[in-house]
Amino acid sequence: MLKLMSRRGLNWVIPTVIGGSLLLALPWFGRAYYTHIFILIFLNIILAMSYRLLYVTGLVSFCHVTFYAIGAYTSAILAMKLGLPFGICFLVGGIAAAAAAAFLILVTSRARGAYFFLISFSFLGVMNTVFMQWRGMTGGASGITSIPPIMGFTTVTPYFYIILAFTAVTIFVMYLLYRSRFGSELMAIGEAEDLAEVIGIDVLRHRMVAAAIGALFAGFAGSLFAHYEGFIAPTSFPMWTTIYILSWCVIGGVRKFWGPIVGAVLMTAISEYGRMMGAMQAIFYAAVLLAVIMAMPNGIVGLVDTLRTRFGRRQYLGGDTKLGAGPPPVVDE
């Protein structure tokens, strides 16, 4: 066991250290454009990770971008109208998004499946109308300009480190949640809601907490985005973003912890690479999305796991795992 642990540990440590240092050094040798792309990827990772939390409980929402937008608008409005420092704007932005999410789950507690999907779509539409029409606060269609930068930074590099650090914090928190009893209970609700209720899991409260934590991080990401870009408008948060978030999760494999990250990184890179292809970009993106959803119903990470249990060394058969016998069941939806 010790041998296995150390070898596996080494296998992970070296690529992580190399990859991590390359990532940290990126702003110093890459062009500012690439740094910007990486910042977008980080924000997308946060969005995908936070979206996953409610998704695994069986509620697929269509309005994650709205929580992102609520965070961005709240933070920007506080900074502009009241002149509050970034830290307070950031916190309040996240909390506002979390409150909105908890409220949405509470009032729609009777809606399931397709109905929740469409109700969250309606919520997205209503909030878009609010952002467009509440001109005194949100600036309407022209949005809010010259939002004060974080601690006066005006170049890309500091934002790269700030947002990278926050992404790391997000992944760490999500990992703790994933490993916790609460995380398992969320998965249990998604697997069999009635059964979970029978064994004493408060389904509604769990979903509210999951949605609130997810929206909290989406709101934080929105706040970072607003102060990084310096400009937000309803067009910064189009309906498509929510579709992209959903597709990253599904492409990567939403039931696996690393799935949303893989999906977000891969698809953001593909769509940025695709910019060079001009008109074919959207068709390429659509083709990749369709191919993945048709060929790999459990996403990329799900497929890799399946292949590893099928063709890899039978490490699960050894006596040194808790499972004891046989490979773990592959969740087939």
Binding site for other proteins (CB under 8 A): 60, 107-108, 110-115, 117-119, 121-123, 125-126, 128-130, 132-133, 243, 246-247, 250, 279-283, 285-287, 289-290, 293-294, 297, 333
Q: Between residues 125 and 158, which has the closer beta carbon with respect to other proteins?
A: 125
Rounded Cα distance between 12 and 326, Å, is 24
Helices (H) and strands (E) in the chain, counts: 14, 0
Q: Between residues 5 and 287, which has the closer beta carbon with respect to other proteins?
A: 287
User: Among all chains, which residue has been given the structure tokens 């790999």?
Assistant: 296
Report in angstroms how near the CB of residue 247 gets to other proteins at its nearest: 6
Q: Between residues 126 and 151, which has the closer beta carbon with respect to other proteins?
A: 126
For helices 2-29 and 156-179, give the axis angle rounded to 10 degrees: 160
CB 148 within 8 A of CB 78: no
- Reference 102, options 132, 61, 141; nearest CA is 61
Q: Between residues 218 and 292, which has the closer beta carbon with respect to other proteins?
A: 292
Report in angstroms how near the CB of residue 131 gets to other proteins at its nearest: 10
Task: Give the number of other CB atoms < 10 A from CB of residue 146.
Answer: 9
Q: Between residues 59 and 92, which has the closer beta carbon with respect to other proteins?
A: 59
Rounded Cα distance between 51 and 174, Å, is 11
Rounded Cα distance between 222 and 93, Å, is 8
User: Among all chains, which residue has been given the structure tokens 């060929």?
Assistant: 295
Q: Between residues 281 and 306, which has the closer beta carbon with respect to other proteins?
A: 281
Q: Between residues 34 and 284, which has the closer beta carbon with respect to other proteins?
A: 284
Report in angstroms how near the CB of residue 150 gets to other proteins at its nearest: 33
For helices 32-55 and 203-229, give the axis angle rounded to 10 degrees: 170
Report in angstroms how near the CB of residue 130 gets to other proteins at its nearest: 7
Report in angstroms how near the CB of residue 116 gets to other proteins at its nearest: 8
Q: Between residues 151 and 290, which has the closer beta carbon with respect to other proteins?
A: 290
Q: Between residues 6 and 129, which has the closer beta carbon with respect to other proteins?
A: 129
User: Among all chains, which residue has been given the structure tokens 């300009």?
Assistant: 145
Structure-block tokens of residue 255? 């039931």
Helix extents (H) in 78-192: 86-107, 113-133, 135-138, 156-179, 181-191
Report in angstroms how near the CB of residue 239 gets to other proteins at its nearest: 9
Structure-block tokens of residue 89? 């704007």
Length of the chain: 333
Instruction: Identify any residues that bridge with 232 across adjacent strands, giving them in sequence order.
Output: 144
Task: Give the number of other CB atoms < 10 A from CB of residue 118.
Answer: 12
Report in angstroms how near the CB of residue 192 gets to other proteins at its nearest: 17
Report in angstroms how near the CB of residue 11 gets to other proteins at its nearest: 33
CB 144 within 8 A of CB 76: yes
Report in angstroms how near the CB of residue 176 gets to other proteins at its nearest: 26
CB 196 within 8 A of CB 188: yes
CA angle, 257 as apex, 319 and 195 as ends, to 5°? 80
